[in-house]
Amino acid sequence: MSRAYFLAGTDTEVGKTLIAAALLRAAAAQGLRALGMKPVAAGGAEDVDALVAAGNVAAPREIVNPYLLREPLSPHLAARHDGVAVDLERIARCFNELRGRADFLVVEGAGGFRVPLSDTQDGADLAARLGLPVVLVVGLRLGCLNHALLTTEAVRARGLRLAGWVANQVDARMACVAENVDTLQARLAAPLLGFVPHQAKPDAARVAGLLKLPD
């Protein structure tokens, strides 16, 4: 049976795409058919390109990325400006088709876990609709402890399992990095899949070697 995960972040710009691509590369290196999905991308296709490059399974672009929105805004606003509505059922149909093609599938969310996707639904609703365990990317910077703990509460409030988390140092000058990671290990009650030190030029291929695949 294929393994699929919803990859969420504690905020925007915490390295979700980097970690998603690295997990795909790690899975491919183990001989798995690895495939990434970005249901909603706002402001450009760079994230989608990175996931496609990291996987080793071909799939139609419109299934990998059902909604490509023009402006780098919260998805519900970007969709409104484009005159479209993000439909979770359409995303679920695309997901089901992709799942049949892969052994290891990563669905990367947009922004933080509860970022609005429409006037009534958000990223948490999407994760719950797909029913996937969550991998959380914690962007290590000031405030990350609160963001990580609140996001974990939101994940569990939807009845979803936190399959693991990745500590990604996005602030090169952050103080007490090791102590912050230790604090999260004591409180998140989920496995740490890897620590990624700050990188001036993030490289998914190199990060892949720092990560463990979730169970």
- 172-184 per-residue burial string, b: 16 or more CB within 10 A, e: under 16: eeeeebeebbeeb
Token reading at 213: 């695949």
Q: Is residue 204 part of a domain?
A: yes
pLDDT reading at 1 higher than 90? no
pTM: 0.97
8: CATH: 3.40.50.300
Q: Is residue 213 part of a domain?
A: no
DSSP state of 43: S
Q: How many domains does the chain have?
A: 1
Of the residues 16, 38, 201, 212, only one is catalytic, namely 38
pLDDT tens digits for 69-103? Answer: 999 999 999 999 999 999 999 999 999 999 999 99
Tell me which residue range forms the domain holding 172. Answer: 3-47+55-100+119-126+139-208
38 part of the active site: yes
Q: Is residue 92 part of a domain?
A: yes
pLDDT tens digits for 41-77? Answer: 999 999 999 999 999 999 999 999 999 999 999 999 9
User: What gap in Å lies between CA 133 and CA 155, rounded to an integer?
Assistant: 9
Q: Is residue 131 part of a domain?
A: no
Query: What is residue 119's predicted lDDT score, i.e. its pLDDT?
Result: 95
Q: Which of 35, 4, 6, 19 is nearest to 212 (CA)?
A: 19
Q: Which of 119, 108, 65 is nearest to 90 (CA)?
A: 65
Q: Is residue 158 part of a domain?
A: yes
